[in-house]
Amino acid sequence: MWQDNINAQLATLEKKAQKRKLPRMERSDEGWVMMNGRKLLNLASNNYLGLADDERLIEASIRAMQTYGAGATASRLIVGNHALYEEAEAALVKWKETEAALIINSGYTANVGILSALASREDVIFSDKLNHASIVDGAILSRAELKRYRHNDIDHLETLLKKTPVHKLKIIVTDTVFSMDGDIAPLRELVALKEKYGAILMIDEAHSSGLYGEKGEGLAHHLGIAEHVDIHMGTFSKALGTFGAYVTGKKYLIDYLINHMRAFIFTTALPPAVLGSIRAAISIVQQEHERRINLFTHSDYVRNELKRLGFNIGASTTQIVPIIIGDNERTVRFSERLQERGIAAVAIRPPTVPEGTARIRFSLMATLTKQQIDWALEQIALVGKEMGVIA
């Protein structure tokens, strides 16, 4: 019976402490959230620059909705391409100093859509083992051969590239900042490899767009190699505080996607309100450098303090800081204890991360205060000692 099978699978998840539950969120302000009726300091959101509750984004959304309505009414190729799209895409082209840009409904959709549009059965996709799930799903949907290289392991990637016939289309794809570890991809080395082997390089800047680079363009710009990356994908749903995603690159690439990307063609355009806030966020993020500076100051401080306390923060060098605990149940207990002490930070378990590396993941926000952070570190240290994670 299929029902018994489903219930058995749920029971297995429960037993392995891997069953997911939806928490109930109520409202949030100044770094705090109400979750399951408790007031918690939010160290779990991707609202890195604090733009999600910015009045300017909210007002731009309202204005857009009043002008263009609540819904887009159709896909962009039919009648959903309201004027805000062109404005926002023109702003993206300028910001990223590129030829063309396309806004896509979400980061998940973008990765699934781009990879499945570009690659097909005879092609090969080389993907970092810790890439986001949407990249894996895009590769599977494309039906290309998927070769997953060891995390940030350039030598392993080169071995795989070498073994692949020269005539095959090759796509190398990587997150720039890895969402579960907070470490960074070796983009310069990836560019060198893609040039050596004639591959396409695609990067996912979901956790770096808005943060790195002089105007928050992303990690590729920060490293001065933007024009060597063929496909730049990023989201508006994290540092930019709203929703949706983009892909930027050469004009022919964007034209190709408009014509071949099913996840773009066969879906309703974003609601005008979302485009309004995207447009506002693109301009704010380029100007308000102090947000980035605050975030980096906070991140450096938190990483150093957690290390000093004796926690294993893995290879993090960014605003995403895990403390790796290992065991699932212990990790879940750790996050519950943190909640009891007033901190929202998620337990991340397999299959999201490899077996035996369950962790608490903290993600920081520019808008936190030093007092909030020091208080949080105290709570984390107390729980760490209570549970024997640190001495």
Ligand X SMILES: *Cc1c(COP(=O)(O)O)cnc(C)c1O
What residues act catalytically?
179, 207, 238
Report the nearest approach of ligand X to the CB of residue 352 (Å): 11
Q: Which is nearer to ligand X, 235 or 294 (CB)?
A: 235
103 and 88 in contact (C-beta within 8 Å)?
yes
Report the nearest approach of ligand X to the CB of residue 179 (Å): 4
Question: What single-letter amino acid sits at 13?
Answer: L
Q: Binding residues for ligand X, per CB under 6 A? A: 106-108, 111, 132, 134, 175, 179, 204, 206-207, 235, 237, 245
Q: Which is nearer to ligand X, 247 or 253 (CB)?
A: 247
Question: What single-letter amino acid sits at 264?
Answer: F
Q: Which is nearer to ligand X, 331 or 363 (CB)?
A: 363
Alpha helices in the chain (DSSP H): 2-15, 55-68, 83-96, 107-118, 133-142, 154-162, 187-197, 219-222, 251-260, 262-265, 272-287, 289-309, 328-340, 370-386
Comparing every residue's Cβ against ligand X, the nearest one is 107
DSSP designation for 331:
H
Report the nearest approach of ligand X to the CB of residue 176 (Å): 8
102 CB-near residues (< 8 Å, 6+ apart): 89, 246, 247, 248, 254, 257, 258, 264
**Cα–Cα distance for residue pair 318/211, rounded to 1 Å:** 10
Please report which helix (H) or strand (E) contains residue 201, including its range: strand 200-204
Report the nearest approach of ligand X to the CB of residue 109 (Å): 7
Q: Which is nearer to ligand X, 42 or 106 (CB)?
A: 106
**Cα–Cα distance for residue pair 151/206, rounded to 1 Å:** 18
Report the nearest approach of ligand X to the CB of residue 193 (Å): 20
Tokens representing residue 147 in the block: 């070769």
Torsional sign, CA 70, 73, 75, 76: negative
Q: Which is nearer to ligand X, 134 or 294 (CB)?
A: 134
C-alpha of 121 from chain center: 27
Report the nearest approach of ligand X to the CB of residue 167 (Å): 30
State whether residue 73 is helix, strand or coil: coil
Q: Which is nearer to ligand X, 42 or 134 (CB)?
A: 134
